[in-house]
Amino acid sequence: MKALVLTGPGQIELKDLPKPILTPGKVLVKMKAAALNRRDDWIREGKYPNIRFGVVMGSDGSGVVEEVFDEEQKGWVGQEVVINPNIDWGSDPEVQSSRYTILGMPVNGTFAEYALVDVDRLQHKPFHLDFLQASALPLGGLTAFRALFRKGNLAPGNNVLISGFGGGVAQFAFLFAKAAGANVYVTSGSDEKLARALKMGAKGAYNYKKESNYSDLWKTKGGFDVIIDSAGGDQINNFIKVLKPKGKVVFYGATNGLPSKLDLYRMFWNQLSLLGSTMGNDHEFNEMLTFVSTHQIRPLIDSIRPFSKIVDSFADITKPNKVGKIVFQI
């Protein structure tokens, strides 16, 4: 079978590998589609923990169950599924265990014609989505769902600001918040992306490269109940300024690094919360799929490409004009 393998530092290759062999508790999924995440590029660049060479990459994917090992699991054969990429979250729903990892590193993932996974990683594909759309859901959708609802406690009518609109998680946060009845605002460094967000129903859209951005946010809205961010850095203090009393900043990354200072005075006086978040537990994954089905949410797809082009496509993960996920037909 064809599979994308991390072969060395900064090196990925589409290789011919043997078809995985079934073992107890495992199922073999014939992959129909898979989607790229920023995580995949960080793994390629060696910026992720527990790197192992020779591993099949990929966290997102959908397909059809082809074989099962255990007789009692035969009902899964022929089922259209999406794969939960969580491995060993643990018993505490609030925080992952020390054993926690994600499909695609250090264990084999979804960028292959076949994936061997534990049967409890299977969930039925939402009926309203095709394989390509469903493959875009798992990692980004779960991260956004946890940040908004478990950490942010988002409620209908809340004002929510999504920073960095266009990225994988941010687009899901936008779609989920709108579906939940919140007033959704976005930031981006691209006027083209901001225009698209407004067309999709954003209440406001602000270019963070312009000096007036945060003053405009404050004057026009009077504050936000929840802010979802992945960049961190000194802009955290700008977010603190535009939060309503008892508001929350939920961040699921820190690509801009640490802030040089933190406005603790405003934080304690206004009863503000700064909350870290990760991908999410298995129960939240199931809740996310139910939410997507209930609200008929369709992920934003930047482009659909043949699996043979996956190596070259890594160069497009961080392109500034990309909105939504890059997905592959396998």
Q: Is a pLDDT exceeding 90 seen at residue 216? A: no
Residue 287 pLDDT > 90, yes or no? yes
Mean of all residue pLDDT scores within the chain: 93
- Cβ(299)–Cβ(136) under 8 Å? yes
The answer to whether the CB of 313 falls within 8 A of the CB of 35 is no
- The identity of residue 223, as a single letter, is G
Q: List Cβ<8 Å contacts ≥24 apart for 168-171.
A: 168/37, 168/38, 168/136, 168/139, 168/140, 168/324, 168/325, 169/140, 169/143, 169/144, 169/230, 169/252, 170/144, 170/228, 170/230, 171/140, 171/299, 171/300, 171/323, 171/324, 171/325
Give pLDDT, residue 220.
58
CA 317 vs CA 42, 75, 95, 186, 302: distances in Å:
11, 37, 29, 20, 10
Say what the pLDDT of residue 221 is: 60
pLDDT band at 320 (very low <50, low <70, confident <90, very high): confident
Walk me through the domains of the chain, giving residue ranges and CATH numbers. Answer: 2-137+299-329 (3.90.180.10), 142-276 (3.40.50.720)
pLDDT score at 210: 78
The predicted structure's pLDDT at residue 215 = 63
| Least confident span in 26-35, 134-143, 177-186, 316-325 | 316-325
| Angle of CA points 302, 184, 222, to nearest 5° | 145
Task: Identify the pLDDT of residue 211.
Answer: 65
User: In the chain, pLDDT over 70 holds for what percent of residues?
Assistant: 96
Task: Out of 14-23, 45-54, 145-154, pick the least confident.
Answer: 45-54
Angle between helices 138-145 and 282-294 (to 10 degrees): 100
pLDDT recorded at residue 268 = 92
- pLDDT at residue 212 above 80? no
